[in-house]
Structure 1
Protein backbone atom coordinates (compact mmCIF):
# COMPACT_ATOMS: atom_id res chain seq x y z
CA UNK A 1 0.00 0.00 0.00
CA UNK A 2 1.30 3.43 -0.92
CA UNK A 3 2.11 5.77 1.96
CA UNK A 4 -0.52 8.27 0.74
CA UNK A 5 -3.14 5.52 0.61
CA UNK A 6 -2.31 4.47 4.17
CA UNK A 7 -2.89 8.05 5.29
CA UNK A 8 -6.31 8.02 3.58
CA UNK A 9 -7.16 4.70 5.20
CA UNK A 10 -6.23 6.08 8.62
CA UNK A 11 -8.20 9.27 7.90
CA UNK A 12 -11.27 7.27 6.84
CA UNK A 13 -11.02 5.11 9.93
CA UNK A 14 -10.43 8.11 12.19
CA UNK A 15 -13.47 9.97 10.85
CA UNK A 16 -15.71 6.95 11.47
CA UNK A 17 -14.26 6.34 14.94
CA UNK A 18 -14.82 9.99 15.95
CA UNK A 19 -18.42 9.85 14.78
CA UNK A 20 -18.94 6.50 16.55
CA UNK A 21 -17.57 7.93 19.80
CA UNK A 22 -19.84 10.98 19.53
CA UNK A 23 -22.77 8.68 18.75
CA UNK A 24 -21.93 6.51 21.73
CA UNK A 25 -21.94 9.53 24.00
CA UNK A 26 -25.33 10.60 22.62
CA UNK A 27 -26.83 7.14 23.11
CA UNK A 28 -25.55 6.36 26.60
CA UNK A 29 -26.70 3.06 28.11
CA UNK A 30 -30.06 2.88 26.38
CA UNK A 31 -28.86 0.12 24.04
CA UNK A 32 -28.40 -2.28 26.93
CA UNK A 33 -31.29 -0.95 29.03
CA UNK A 34 -34.21 0.62 27.13
CA UNK A 35 -33.72 -1.30 23.87
CA UNK A 36 -33.84 -4.69 25.57
CA UNK A 37 -36.98 -3.73 27.52
CA UNK A 38 -39.21 -2.57 24.64
CA UNK A 39 -41.42 -4.90 22.60
CA UNK A 40 -39.83 -6.15 19.39
CA UNK A 41 -41.49 -7.53 16.25
CA UNK A 42 -41.07 -11.24 15.60
CA UNK A 43 -38.53 -10.55 12.83
CA UNK A 44 -36.18 -8.52 15.02
CA UNK A 45 -32.56 -9.60 15.20
CA UNK A 46 -31.12 -10.99 18.42
CA UNK A 47 -28.89 -8.52 20.28
CA UNK A 48 -25.67 -9.97 18.83
CA UNK A 49 -27.12 -9.39 15.35
CA UNK A 50 -27.44 -5.66 16.00
CA UNK A 51 -23.80 -5.48 17.07
CA UNK A 52 -22.74 -7.32 13.91
CA UNK A 53 -24.81 -5.00 11.70
CA UNK A 54 -23.29 -1.98 13.47
CA UNK A 55 -19.76 -3.28 12.96
CA UNK A 56 -20.40 -4.05 9.30
CA UNK A 57 -21.87 -0.56 8.84
CA UNK A 58 -18.66 1.10 10.07
CA UNK A 59 -16.47 -1.19 7.95
CA UNK A 60 -18.62 -0.26 4.93
CA UNK A 61 -18.43 3.46 5.72
CA UNK A 62 -14.63 3.30 6.10
CA UNK A 63 -14.29 1.42 2.79
CA UNK A 64 -16.49 3.91 0.92
CA UNK A 65 -14.75 6.94 2.37
CA UNK A 66 -11.32 5.45 1.66
CA UNK A 67 -12.17 4.66 -1.97
CA UNK A 68 -13.45 8.20 -2.45
CA UNK A 69 -10.41 9.79 -0.83
CA UNK A 70 -8.01 7.94 -3.13
CA UNK A 71 -10.09 8.71 -6.25
CA UNK A 72 -9.18 11.41 -8.73
CA UNK A 73 -10.31 14.81 -7.48
CA UNK A 74 -13.29 16.50 -9.04
CA UNK A 75 -16.79 17.72 -8.32
CA UNK A 76 -18.32 14.21 -8.35
CA UNK A 77 -15.72 12.98 -5.85
CA UNK A 78 -16.24 15.94 -3.51
CA UNK A 79 -20.01 15.55 -3.67
CA UNK A 80 -19.74 11.84 -2.90
CA UNK A 81 -17.42 12.54 0.05
CA UNK A 82 -19.88 15.13 1.43
CA UNK A 83 -22.77 12.69 1.06
CA UNK A 84 -20.76 9.92 2.73
CA UNK A 85 -20.01 12.16 5.69
CA UNK A 86 -23.68 13.17 5.77
CA UNK A 87 -24.57 9.45 5.91
CA UNK A 88 -22.11 8.83 8.76
CA UNK A 89 -23.34 11.90 10.70
CA UNK A 90 -26.96 11.03 9.89
CA UNK A 91 -26.49 7.54 11.29
CA UNK A 92 -25.28 8.97 14.60
CA UNK A 93 -28.13 11.48 14.64
CA UNK A 94 -30.60 8.64 14.04
CA UNK A 95 -29.00 6.71 16.92
CA UNK A 96 -29.60 9.76 19.11
CA UNK A 97 -33.24 10.07 17.99
CA UNK A 98 -33.93 6.40 18.61
CA UNK A 99 -31.66 5.41 21.50
CA UNK A 100 -30.75 8.75 23.05
CA UNK A 101 -34.35 9.98 23.18
CA UNK A 102 -35.60 6.41 23.71
CA UNK A 103 -38.27 7.05 21.11
CA UNK A 104 -39.50 4.48 18.62
CA UNK A 105 -41.52 7.22 16.92
CA UNK A 106 -38.51 9.53 16.47
CA UNK A 107 -36.54 6.53 15.24
CA UNK A 108 -39.13 5.72 12.61
CA UNK A 109 -39.60 9.32 11.44
CA UNK A 110 -35.84 10.03 11.51
CA UNK A 111 -35.10 6.99 9.40
CA UNK A 112 -36.97 8.43 6.41
CA UNK A 113 -34.66 11.42 5.66
CA UNK A 114 -31.64 9.31 6.58
CA UNK A 115 -32.66 6.68 4.02
CA UNK A 116 -33.07 9.41 1.41
CA UNK A 117 -29.49 10.57 2.04
CA UNK A 118 -28.23 7.00 1.62
CA UNK A 119 -30.21 6.48 -1.60
CA UNK A 120 -28.92 9.78 -3.04
CA UNK A 121 -25.39 8.70 -2.09
CA UNK A 122 -25.93 5.36 -3.82
CA UNK A 123 -27.14 7.07 -7.01
CA UNK A 124 -24.18 9.49 -6.99
CA UNK A 125 -21.75 6.63 -6.38
CA UNK A 126 -23.31 4.60 -9.18
CA UNK A 127 -22.64 7.48 -11.58
CA UNK A 128 -19.13 8.15 -10.24
CA UNK A 129 -17.66 4.86 -9.08
CA UNK A 130 -19.83 1.75 -9.50
CA UNK A 131 -17.51 -0.51 -7.51
CA UNK A 132 -17.97 1.76 -4.51
CA UNK A 133 -21.73 1.81 -5.06
CA UNK A 134 -21.72 -1.99 -4.82
CA UNK A 135 -20.22 -1.66 -1.31
CA UNK A 136 -23.21 0.48 -0.30
CA UNK A 137 -25.90 -1.66 -1.96
CA UNK A 138 -26.36 -4.17 0.91
CA UNK A 139 -26.93 -1.25 3.27
CA UNK A 140 -29.52 0.30 0.94
CA UNK A 141 -31.34 -3.05 0.98
CA UNK A 142 -30.93 -3.28 4.76
CA UNK A 143 -32.62 0.12 5.17
CA UNK A 144 -35.75 -1.35 3.55
CA UNK A 145 -35.85 -3.87 6.40
CA UNK A 146 -34.98 -1.16 8.90
CA UNK A 147 -37.91 1.06 7.90
CA UNK A 148 -40.36 -1.84 8.29
CA UNK A 149 -38.71 -2.82 11.58
CA UNK A 150 -38.81 0.69 13.10
CA UNK A 151 -42.41 1.16 12.00
CA UNK A 152 -43.35 -2.08 13.77
CA UNK A 153 -41.39 -1.06 16.87
CA UNK A 154 -43.29 2.21 16.97
CA UNK A 155 -46.67 0.48 16.59
CA UNK A 156 -45.85 -2.14 19.25
CA UNK A 157 -44.58 0.44 21.76
CA UNK A 158 -47.10 3.30 21.38
Structure 2
Protein backbone atom coordinates (compact mmCIF):
# COMPACT_ATOMS: atom_id res chain seq x y z
CA UNK A 1 0.00 0.00 0.00
CA UNK A 2 1.37 3.42 -0.86
CA UNK A 3 0.38 6.82 0.50
CA UNK A 4 -1.95 7.50 -2.46
CA UNK A 5 -4.00 4.44 -1.57
CA UNK A 6 -4.56 5.40 2.06
CA UNK A 7 -8.24 5.86 2.89
CA UNK A 8 -9.43 9.28 4.02
CA UNK A 9 -8.83 8.20 7.60
CA UNK A 10 -7.03 4.86 7.89
CA UNK A 11 -8.36 2.43 10.52
CA UNK A 12 -6.80 2.88 13.98
CA UNK A 13 -4.50 -0.15 13.81
CA UNK A 14 -3.17 0.88 10.40
CA UNK A 15 -2.63 4.47 11.63
CA UNK A 16 -0.73 3.20 14.64
CA UNK A 17 1.35 0.84 12.52
CA UNK A 18 2.28 3.52 9.98
CA UNK A 19 3.17 5.89 12.81
CA UNK A 20 5.05 3.55 15.11
CA UNK A 21 6.79 0.84 13.06
CA UNK A 22 8.96 3.12 10.89
CA UNK A 23 9.96 5.19 13.93
CA UNK A 24 10.97 2.07 15.87
CA UNK A 25 12.84 0.78 12.81
CA UNK A 26 14.77 4.06 12.51
CA UNK A 27 15.65 3.91 16.20
CA UNK A 28 16.85 0.30 16.03
CA UNK A 29 18.83 0.88 12.84
CA UNK A 30 20.53 3.88 14.39
CA UNK A 31 21.37 1.96 17.55
CA UNK A 32 22.95 -0.85 15.53
CA UNK A 33 25.55 1.61 14.23
CA UNK A 34 25.91 3.69 17.39
CA UNK A 35 26.31 1.36 20.35
CA UNK A 36 29.17 -0.80 19.03
CA UNK A 37 31.18 2.35 18.32
CA UNK A 38 30.67 4.32 21.54
CA UNK A 39 33.49 2.80 23.60
CA UNK A 40 35.69 1.72 20.71
CA UNK A 41 35.71 4.93 18.64
CA UNK A 42 33.56 7.78 19.95
CA UNK A 43 35.17 7.76 23.40
CA UNK A 44 38.54 8.57 21.81
CA UNK A 45 37.33 11.66 19.93
CA UNK A 46 37.99 15.21 21.07
CA UNK A 47 34.68 16.78 22.05
CA UNK A 48 33.60 20.35 22.77
CA UNK A 49 32.85 21.54 26.29
CA UNK A 50 29.10 21.50 25.57
CA UNK A 51 29.07 17.78 24.68
CA UNK A 52 26.41 16.10 26.88
CA UNK A 53 27.22 12.91 28.77
CA UNK A 54 26.52 9.74 26.77
CA UNK A 55 23.69 8.67 29.09
CA UNK A 56 21.53 11.66 28.06
CA UNK A 57 21.15 10.60 24.43
CA UNK A 58 18.95 7.50 24.97
CA UNK A 59 16.23 9.22 27.03
CA UNK A 60 16.22 12.29 24.79
CA UNK A 61 15.90 10.23 21.62
CA UNK A 62 13.26 7.99 23.18
CA UNK A 63 11.14 11.05 23.91
CA UNK A 64 11.74 12.47 20.44
CA UNK A 65 10.78 9.20 18.76
CA UNK A 66 7.57 9.02 20.80
CA UNK A 67 6.72 12.59 19.73
CA UNK A 68 7.50 11.77 16.09
CA UNK A 69 5.22 8.72 16.11
CA UNK A 70 2.42 10.68 17.80
CA UNK A 71 2.87 13.49 15.28
CA UNK A 72 2.53 11.15 12.30
CA UNK A 73 -0.44 9.45 13.93
CA UNK A 74 -2.13 12.88 14.21
CA UNK A 75 -1.48 13.61 10.53
CA UNK A 76 -2.99 10.25 9.61
CA UNK A 77 -6.16 11.14 11.54
CA UNK A 78 -6.70 14.16 9.30
CA UNK A 79 -9.52 13.27 6.92
CA UNK A 80 -7.54 14.44 3.94
CA UNK A 81 -6.14 12.30 1.17
CA UNK A 82 -4.82 15.29 -0.74
CA UNK A 83 -1.37 15.90 -2.13
CA UNK A 84 -0.79 18.09 0.94
CA UNK A 85 -0.95 15.13 3.32
CA UNK A 86 1.05 12.92 0.96
CA UNK A 87 3.76 15.57 0.72
CA UNK A 88 3.84 16.02 4.49
CA UNK A 89 4.17 12.28 5.03
CA UNK A 90 6.86 11.95 2.37
CA UNK A 91 8.88 14.74 3.99
CA UNK A 92 8.49 13.13 7.40
CA UNK A 93 9.71 9.75 6.18
CA UNK A 94 12.61 11.33 4.28
CA UNK A 95 13.82 13.10 7.43
CA UNK A 96 13.35 9.84 9.37
CA UNK A 97 15.48 8.01 6.79
CA UNK A 98 18.21 10.65 7.13
CA UNK A 99 17.90 10.32 10.90
CA UNK A 100 18.69 6.58 10.79
CA UNK A 101 21.36 7.07 8.13
CA UNK A 102 23.21 9.67 10.25
CA UNK A 103 24.24 7.03 12.78
CA UNK A 104 25.72 4.87 10.04
CA UNK A 105 27.60 7.80 8.54
CA UNK A 106 28.89 9.27 11.79
CA UNK A 107 29.39 6.15 13.93
CA UNK A 108 29.43 3.34 11.37
CA UNK A 109 31.89 5.02 9.02
CA UNK A 110 33.67 6.82 11.88
CA UNK A 111 33.16 10.03 9.93
CA UNK A 112 32.00 13.23 11.61
CA UNK A 113 32.21 14.89 8.17
CA UNK A 114 29.80 12.38 6.62
CA UNK A 115 27.49 12.89 9.60
CA UNK A 116 27.64 16.64 9.10
CA UNK A 117 26.81 16.29 5.39
CA UNK A 118 23.70 14.36 6.45
CA UNK A 119 22.52 16.34 9.45
CA UNK A 120 22.28 19.73 7.73
CA UNK A 121 19.77 18.59 5.08
CA UNK A 122 18.09 16.47 7.77
CA UNK A 123 17.53 19.59 9.88
CA UNK A 124 16.17 21.50 6.88
CA UNK A 125 13.78 18.63 6.08
CA UNK A 126 12.55 18.68 9.68
CA UNK A 127 11.76 22.40 9.37
CA UNK A 128 9.91 21.88 6.09
CA UNK A 129 8.05 18.91 7.59
CA UNK A 130 6.98 21.05 10.54
CA UNK A 131 5.65 23.66 8.13
CA UNK A 132 3.72 21.05 6.13
CA UNK A 133 2.37 19.39 9.28
CA UNK A 134 1.28 22.80 10.60
CA UNK A 135 -0.96 23.24 7.56
CA UNK A 136 -2.76 20.03 8.47
CA UNK A 137 -2.60 19.84 12.26
CA UNK A 138 -0.94 22.33 14.62
CA UNK A 139 -0.43 19.79 17.42
CA UNK A 140 1.39 17.44 15.03
CA UNK A 141 3.68 20.28 13.98
CA UNK A 142 4.35 21.34 17.57
CA UNK A 143 5.32 17.77 18.45
CA UNK A 144 8.21 18.04 15.99
CA UNK A 145 9.52 21.26 17.57
CA UNK A 146 11.69 19.44 20.13
CA UNK A 147 13.13 17.31 17.32
CA UNK A 148 14.11 20.44 15.40
CA UNK A 149 15.70 21.96 18.50
CA UNK A 150 17.66 18.79 19.32
CA UNK A 151 18.84 18.26 15.73
CA UNK A 152 19.94 21.92 15.60
CA UNK A 153 21.98 21.30 18.74
CA UNK A 154 23.25 17.99 17.34
CA UNK A 155 24.31 19.80 14.16
CA UNK A 156 26.44 22.20 16.20
CA UNK A 157 27.86 19.30 18.18
CA UNK A 158 28.59 17.32 15.01
CA UNK A 159 30.32 20.36 13.49
CA UNK A 160 32.42 20.92 16.60
CA UNK A 161 33.48 17.27 16.77
CA UNK A 162 34.43 17.34 13.09
CA UNK A 163 36.52 20.51 13.57
CA UNK A 164 38.25 19.19 16.69
CA UNK A 165 39.14 15.89 15.04
CA UNK A 166 39.88 16.96 11.45
Range class of TM-score, shorter chain? 0.7 to 0.9
C-alpha separation between the residues in 2 aligned to 1:144 and 1:157?
Answer: 20
Tell me whether 1:74 sits opposite 2:71 in the alignment: no
TM-align CA RMSD:
1.9
Between the aligned partners of 1:28 and 1:51, the Cα distance in structure 2 is 11
Q: In the alignment, does 2:13 pair up with 1:15?
A: no
Q: What is residue 44 of structure 2 aligned with on the other side?
A: 37
Q: In structure 2, what is the Cα distance between the partners aligned to 1:81 and 1:125?
A: 8
Partner of 1:86: 94
Which moves more between the two structures, 23-32 or 81-90?
A: 23-32
- 2:135 paired residue number: 127
Give the CA deviation at 1:137.
1.0
Contact 2:95 2:126 in 1 (8 A): yes
> Pairwise mapping of residues 29-68 of structure 1 onto structure 2 (< 5 A)?
29-68=36-75
User: Does 14-23 or 146-155 show the bigger shift?
Assistant: 14-23
1:63 is displaced (CA, Å) by: 1.0
Match of 1:145 in 2: 153
1:64-103 per-residue CA deviation (whole Å, 9 max, x = no partner) reads 2211222212221111111111111110111111111111
Indicate how the Cα distance of structure 1 residues 26 and 89 shifts in structure 2: closer, same or farther if over 3 A, else same.
same
CA distance in 2, matches of 1:126, 1:32: 40
Q: Which runs of 5+ in 2 are unaligned?
A: 1-9
Q: Given the two structures, how large is their TM-score scaled by the length of structure 2?
A: 0.84
CA contact (8 A) 2:98 2:118 kept: no
Task: List, as ranges, runs of 4+ consecutive aligned residues in structure 1 with deviation greater than 6 Å.
Answer: none
Task: Give the match for residue 12 of structure 2.
Answer: 5
Say whether the 8 Å CA contact 1:61–1:88 is kept in structure 2.
no
User: 2:112·2:162 contact (CA, 8 Å) conserved in 1?
Assistant: yes
Count of paired positions: 156
Structure 1 stretch displaced more, 4-13 or 36-45: 4-13
Normalising by structure 1, report the TM-score. Answer: 0.88
Structure 1 residues 16 and 133: alpha-carbon distance in aligned structure 2, compared to 1, 3 A threshold: same
